[in-house]
Amino acid sequence: MAQFFDKIGKDSKDMLGKNMDTGKVVKIETNLCDGLKFTSDSSNNSSSLQFDLPLAGTDLKLDYAGGSLVDVTSYKFESGLCLKTLASVPGAKLTLKGKVGGDMSGELEYKHSMAAVKLGGASKKGDLSFPLAAGFSPLAGLDVGFSGTVKPAFAPEQLCETVALSYSQKGSFGLFAGLSKKFTALEARGIFYGLPDTVVAVKATGLMAGTPSVTLGGEYSVDSDTKVKVVASQSGDIKAGLKKSLRKGCDVTLGCKTTLADPAAVNLGFTVDIK
């Protein structure tokens, strides 16, 4: 099955980037009634409230992103329209989102066994842009894709600004290579599942600049409810995280960050996720 462009190589990206939270985040998600879902996300930087109301073929979300409750410009909305239900077009979805009185955008996505495509349009501060991305699966385990952003002043290179390629064997290993910044930056990642209860991943960036930087990480499953992760970069930055499932639907992650240059400078944080 083809993957959308932003999902290509996602397993190794998440392995090296998630569940090492050094902020303070509390997330609560609950079903209120008749499919109405409420989500609260509060952190040391921001807070938001979100209501999610699924209708026939439609998923409507209203997100309050801080500020005064009576300030209508603080509200964002998103509406997902299932075109299979609404227009008998299987595999297609239309998403409209924006901020009240502010920026607006729309995205049409279509997914098939061989291809997954997203086409969008957005107005940000009066400037128009039309992002596009596509992923293809020509062979089992192989995914390739590209993305770009078309602007009113069209140039052919806008059609393909980034390229991604990944190959994976489920439960064994995965490899990823990505070209970005108009093909001037190369990133490579690998992930390995062959060790008992352990996942290992490595990332290398700056491969075309002559100054490569390597990041290595590992995650160990202590038991079915507990995972420990450590990620270290070539520059000496170290992140660690302990994720514990207290019960079904309630996860706590404790994270810390330090550097070999100053081991005493430790940044601690936590995330509580309740569903």
pLDDT computed for residue 68 by the predictor: 67
> What is the spatial distance between Cα 131 and Cα 122, in angstroms, rounded to a whole number?
8
> What is the spatial distance between Cα 150 and Cα 121, in angstroms, rounded to a whole number?
9
Q: Is the dihedral of CA 269, 15, 252, 33 positive or negative?
A: positive
The predicted model scores a pTM of: 0.86
Contacts of 161-164 with C-beta under 8 Å, sequence gap 24+, read 164/5, 164/8, 164/9, 164/135
Tokens describing residue 128: 């128009």
Q: Mean pLDDT across the stretch 96-120?
A: 92
Range of the domain at 131: 5-274
Scanning the chain, the segments in alpha helix (DSSP H) are 10-17, 83-87
Predicted confidence (pLDDT) at residue 211 exceeds the cutoff of 90: no
Question: How many C-beta atoms lie closer than 10 Å to residue 31's C-beta?
Answer: 11
Q: Specify whether the CB–CB gap between 12 and 189 falls below 8 A.
A: yes
- Residue whose tokens read 């969008």: 120
Residue 210, domain CATH: 2.40.160.10
Q: What is the pLDDT of residues 143-156, one digit of tens each?
A: 999 999 999 999 99
Q: Which amino acid is at 53?
A: L
Q: Specify whether the CB–CB gap between 148 and 161 falls below 8 A.
A: yes
- Residue whose tokens read 């609404």: 86
Closest CA to 144 of 176, 173, 112: 176
Q: Specify whether the CB–CB gap between 11 and 200 falls below 8 A.
A: no
> How many domains in the chain?
1
Predicted confidence (pLDDT) at residue 113 exceeds the cutoff of 70: yes
Q: What is the pLDDT of residues 15-73, one digit of tens each?
A: 999 999 888 999 999 988 777 889 998 887 677 888 898 888 898 888 887 666 667 67
In sequence order, what are the beta bridge partners of 24?
Answer: 270
> What is the spatial distance between Cα 61 and Cα 138, in angstroms, rounded to a whole number?
35
60: part of which helix (H) or strand (E)? strand 58-64
Q: Which residue has the higher pLDDT, 22 or 215?
A: 215
Helix-strand-coil split of the chain, %, nearest 5: 10, 65, 25
Q: How far apart are the first and last CA of the chain?
A: 29
Q: What is the pLDDT of residues 253-273, one digit of tens each?
A: 999 999 998 888 899 999 999
Q: What does residue 81 show for φ and ψ, rounded to 5 degrees? A: -115, 115
Q: In whole numbers, what is the pLDDT of the chain averaged over residues?
A: 91
> What is the spatial distance between Cα 210 and Cα 235, in angstroms, rounded to a whole number?
16
Reported confidence tier of residue 1, pLDDT bands at 50, 70, 90: confident
> What is the spatial distance between Cα 3 and Cα 12, in angstroms, rounded to a whole number?
15
